[in-house]
Structure 1
Amino acid sequence: MFPWFATGHMTPFLHLSNKLAEKGHRISFLLPNKAKHQLEHLNLHPSLITFYTLTVPHVEGLPPGTETASDVPIFLTSLLATAMDNMRDRVRDLLQKLKPSIVFYDMAHWIPELASEIGFKTVNYNVVSAASIAIALVPSRKPVEDRTITGAELMEPPPGYPSSTVLLRRHEAQGLSFIFLEFGKDITFYDRITIAMKRSHAISIRTCRELEGSLCDYIAREYHKPVFLTGPVLPESEKEDLQEKWANWLKGFEPGTVVFCAFGSQVVLEKQQFQELVLGFELTGLPFLIALKPPFGTTSVEEALPEGFEGRIRGRGIVYGGWVQQPAILSHPSVGCFVNHCGFGSMWESLMSDCQIVLVPHLADQILNTRLLAEELKVAVEVERDNKSTWFSRESLCRAIKSAMDRDSEVGGLIRENHAKWKEVLASPTFMGDCIEKFIQDLQEL
Structure 2
Amino acid sequence: MGSKFHALMYPWLGTGHLTPFLHLANKMAEKGHRVTFLLPKKATKQFEHLNLFPDNFVFHTITIPRVDGLPVGVESTSEIHLSSAKLLASAMDLTRGQVEDVVGAEKPDLIFFDFAHWIPEIAREFGVKAVHYLLWSASSIALSLAPRVELGVPPPGYPSSKVLLRKQDVYSIKSLTDNDNDNIPGFVERVFTGLMTCDVIATKTTREIEGKYCDYIRENCKKKVLLTGPMFPKPDKTRQLEEQWSTWLSGFGPDSVVFCALGTEVNLEKDQFQELCLAMELTGLPFLVAVKPPRGVSTIQEALPDGFEERVKGRGVVSGGWVQQPLILSHPSVGCFVSHCGFGSTWEALLSDCQIVLLPQEAEQVVNTRLMSEELEVAVEVARDETGWFSKESLRDAINSVMKRDSELGDLVKKNHTKLRETLASPGLMDGYADNFIGALQDLIIQT
TM-score, normalised by the number of residues in structure 1: 0.88
Runs of 5+ in structure 1 lacking a partner?
144-148
Q: How many Å apart are 1:375 and its aligned residue? A: 0.8
* Correspondences of 1:289-300 after superposition (within 5 Å): 289-300=288-299
Hey, what does 1:161 align to over in structure 2?
Answer: 158
The reply on whether 1:26 has 2:25 as its aligned counterpart is no
Hey, what does 1:192 align to over in structure 2?
Answer: 190
* Correspondences of 1:63-212 after superposition (within 5 Å): 63-70=71-78, 74=82, 76-135=84-143, 137-138=144-145, 141-143=146-148, 153-173=150-170, 175-182=172-179, 187-212=185-210
**Aligned pair partner of 1:14 in 15, 22, 41:** 22
- Work out whether residues 102 and 122 of structure 1, in 8 Å CA contact, stay in contact via their aligned partners in 2: yes
The 10-residue stretch of structure 1 (18-27 or 325-334) with the greater mean CA deviation from structure 2:
325-334
Runs of 5+ in structure 2 lacking a partner?
1-8
Q: Distance in 1 between matches of 2:134 and 2:76?
A: 18
* Correspondences of 1:20-419 after superposition (within 5 Å): 20-59=28-67, 62-70=70-78, 74=82, 76-135=84-143, 137-138=144-145, 141-143=146-148, 153-173=150-170, 175-182=172-179, 187-239=185-237, 240-386=239-385, 388-419=386-417
Cα 1:222–1:179 shift into 2, 3 Å: farther
| 2:155 maps to amino acid | P
Q: Distance in 2 between matches of 1:78 and 1:338?
A: 30
Q: How many Å apart are 1:242 and its aligned residue? A: 3.1
- Work out whether residues 151 and 164 of structure 2, in 8 Å CA contact, stay in contact via their aligned partners in 1: no
* Correspondences of 1:419-434 after superposition (within 5 Å): 419-434=417-432
- Work out whether residues 176 and 363 of structure 2, in 8 Å CA contact, stay in contact via their aligned partners in 1: no
| 2:147 maps to amino acid | K
Deviations 1:47-70 (A, max 9, x none): 101222233444555555554445
The 10-residue stretch of structure 1 (161-170 or 244-253) with the greater mean CA deviation from structure 2:
244-253
Cα 1:249–1:209 shift into 2, 3 Å: same
Deviations 1:153-187 (A, max 9, x none): 34423222111111112132453254445598575
The 10-residue stretch of structure 1 (345-354 or 153-162) with the greater mean CA deviation from structure 2:
153-162
3-state DSSP of counterpart to 2:398:
helix
TM-score, normalised by the number of residues in structure 2: 0.88
Cα 1:251–1:218 shift into 2, 3 Å: same
Aligned length: 434
Q: Distance in 2 between matches of 1:60 and 1:298?
A: 24
Cα 1:27–1:399 shift into 2, 3 Å: same
The 10-residue stretch of structure 1 (337-346 or 88-97) with the greater mean CA deviation from structure 2:
88-97
Cα 1:43–1:185 shift into 2, 3 Å: farther
Deviations 1:108-145 (A, max 9, x none): 3333233333222221111221122111x21xx225xx
Cα 1:326–1:175 shift into 2, 3 Å: closer
Q: How many Å apart are 1:385 and its aligned residue? A: 1.9
Q: How many Å apart are 1:429 and its aligned residue? A: 4.1
Q: How many Å apart are 1:6 and its aligned residue? A: 3.7
- Work out whether residues 155 and 173 of structure 1, in 8 Å CA contact, stay in contact via their aligned partners in 2: no
Q: How many Å apart are 1:312 and its aligned residue? A: 3.1
Q: Distance in 1 between matches of 2:279 and 2:47?
A: 38
| 1:124 maps to amino acid | H
3-state DSSP of counterpart to 1:19:
helix
Q: Distance in 2 between matches of 1:276 and 1:346?
A: 22
Cα 1:279–1:177 shift into 2, 3 Å: closer
3-state DSSP of counterpart to 1:123:
strand
Deviations 1:335-366 (A, max 9, x none): 21112221222212211112111111112122
Cα 1:126–1:410 shift into 2, 3 Å: same
| 1:402 maps to amino acid | N
- Work out whether residues 182 and 189 of structure 1, in 8 Å CA contact, stay in contact via their aligned partners in 2: no
Q: Distance in 1 between matches of 2:409 and 2:12?
A: 41
Q: How many Å apart are 1:213 and its aligned residue? A: 1.1
3-state DSSP of counterpart to 1:416:
helix
3-state DSSP of counterpart to 1:236:
coil
Q: Kindly, what percent of the aligned residue pairs are identical?
A: 55
Cα 1:8–1:290 shift into 2, 3 Å: closer
- Work out whether residues 154 and 176 of structure 1, in 8 Å CA contact, stay in contact via their aligned partners in 2: no
- Work out whether residues 338 and 358 of structure 1, in 8 Å CA contact, stay in contact via their aligned partners in 2: yes
- Work out whether residues 100 and 120 of structure 1, in 8 Å CA contact, stay in contact via their aligned partners in 2: yes
Q: How many Å apart are 1:300 and its aligned residue? A: 3.5
- Work out whether residues 82 and 265 of structure 2, in 8 Å CA contact, stay in contact via their aligned partners in 1: no
Cα 1:319–1:28 shift into 2, 3 Å: closer
Cα 1:315–1:348 shift into 2, 3 Å: same
| 1:222 maps to amino acid | N
Q: How many Å apart are 1:198 and its aligned residue? A: 1.1
The 10-residue stretch of structure 1 (40-49 or 323-332) with the greater mean CA deviation from structure 2:
323-332
Hey, what does 2:4 align to over in structure 1?
Answer: none
Cα RMSD (Å) of the superposition?
Answer: 2.6
The 10-residue stretch of structure 1 (123-132 or 53-62) with the greater mean CA deviation from structure 2:
53-62
